[in-house]
Amino acid sequence: LDYSVEQEWHNPRIVPYQPIVLDPAAKVFHYGQTIFEGLKAYKTADGRIRLFRPRDNFARMNRSNDRMSVPELDIDTAITALERLIEVDADWVPTEPGTSLYIRPYVFATQATLGVAPSENYQFIIIMSPVGAYYPEGMNPVKIYVESDYVRAMVGGVGEAKTAGNYAAALKSQQIAKEQGYTQVLWLDGAEHKYIEEVGSMNVFFKIGGKVITPALNGSILAGITRNSVLQLLKHWGISVEERRLSIDEIYEAAEQGLLEEAFGTGTAAVISPIGEVNWGGQKLVIGEGRTGELTNKLYDTLTGIQYGTVEDPFGWTREVGAG
Ligand code: PMP
């Protein structure tokens, strides 16, 4: 789809995967006015293709668009476009256990002027790729590096928008973490460097003394769709969850008292990811002896079961492609 002030969103089309031509002055290159989303399609045992919460992804895209002064997209048009695209290459949705089709919708500013102002032209594109099983041999706890110098986002900034700049701001810390043998960065709040926000591509949950706790959405954390699914599932199971400010000190203190039972990340890519180790300024914390916790396993099995159609979906989260 293209956007112009006169025609608004227009010219929907499906074309073979190919490079796109942009003017060197296109605003996206200079001012980063761009938004993306990430969601997945799954094939059920009987060959049907299902999307997981696509409406919620496009609704989040519109919230990101609003923050970044990008014109709103019609959600039904976006879902229809996505379904048409999947139908063209339905064989692309892999069938092996644990595999899926990763879908990347994105929008970017194409107007060729260097003035700092919202663009008058945009393109909306969807690309996709089959992805293998995230955990082909059982869940593997991730090791997490707590970043105490740099911050990813500030309250009032663009942290809750899924915009490229947040990820660019994270690259250096990710590099440092990787050099030290850690897979993900845990971000602390921008004001006090004290409260837990999220990791690179996941929201985080901790089970402390029988209670499940996750940082409250504060404007600088991405409102993960998987985070929301976990909250709904836990409530459905009668497990109480606290959404509140959670300091990194509290995690270390809970561990010292033997109360830190489980930790996991939530995100589209891995769905649920056990956290086995945290390193904050050189202080290492091993969680659950590096093994995956019971609740973490149950959430993983239930959510992936709903996605692949082997567990009933009481929430209406899945949408069959082509079913109207
Ligand atoms: N936080 C960040 C910064 C992310 O990039 C993602 C991945 N989209 C998440 C959290 C998890 O969000 P979701 O569950 O919607 O994939």
Considering the entire predicted model, what is its pTM?
0.96
Topology (CATH level 3) of domain 142-308: D-amino Acid Aminotransferase; Chain A, domain 2 (3.20.10)
Q: What is the pLDDT of residue 191?
A: 94
Cα 155 to Cα 190, 299, 314: the distances in Å are 7, 30, 34
What digits encode the pLDDT tens for the residues 184-195? 999 999 999 999
Sequence ranges of the chain with CATH classification 3.20.10.10: 142-308
Q: Between 3.50.50.60, 3.30.470.10, 2.120.10.30, 3.30.300.10, what CATH number should domain 2-131 receive?
A: 3.30.470.10
Q: Give the nearest ligand 1 atom to 166 CA.
A: 3
Ligand 1 proximal residues by C-beta, below 6 Å = 38, 198, 201-203, 222, 224-227, 266-268
Q: Which atom of ligand 1 is nearest to the CA of 269?
A: 16
- What is the residue with the minimal CA distance to atom 2 of ligand 1? 201
- Whether 294 has a pLDDT exceeding 90, the answer reads yes
Numbered ranges of CATH 3.30.470.10 in the chain: 2-131
Ligand 1: atom nearest CA of 225 is: 15
Do 212 and 239 contact (CB within 8 A), yes or no?
Answer: yes
Distance (Å) from CA 152 to ligand 1 centroid: 14
Question: Are the C-beta atoms of 198 and 221 separated by less than 8 Å?
Answer: yes
Taking residues 211-225, report their average pLDDT: 97
pLDDT band with cut points at 50, 70 and 90 for residue 288: confident
Does the pLDDT of residue 290 top 80, yes or no?
A: no
- Write the pLDDT tens digit of every residue in 155-204: 999 999 999 999 999 999 999 999 999 999 999 999 999 999 999 999 99
Q: Say yes or no to pLDDT of 219 above 90.
A: yes
Higher pLDDT, 137 or 59: 59
Q: Residue 95 — very low, low, confident or very high, per pLDDT cuts 50/70/90? A: confident
Closest CA to ligand 1's atom 4: 201
**Shortest-distance Cα residue to atom 5 of ligand 1:** 201
Q: Which of 103, 186, 232, 268 to mutate to test the pocket of ligand 1 (most atoms within 8 A of CB)?
A: 268
Percent of the chain at pLDDT exceeding 90:
91
Residues 229 and 303: beta-carbon distance below 8 Å: yes
Rounded to the nearest integer, the mean pLDDT of the chain is 95
How far apart (Å, rounded) are the C-alpha atoms in residues 241 and 231? 7
Would you tell me how many other CB atoms lie within 10 Å of the CB of residue 323? 9
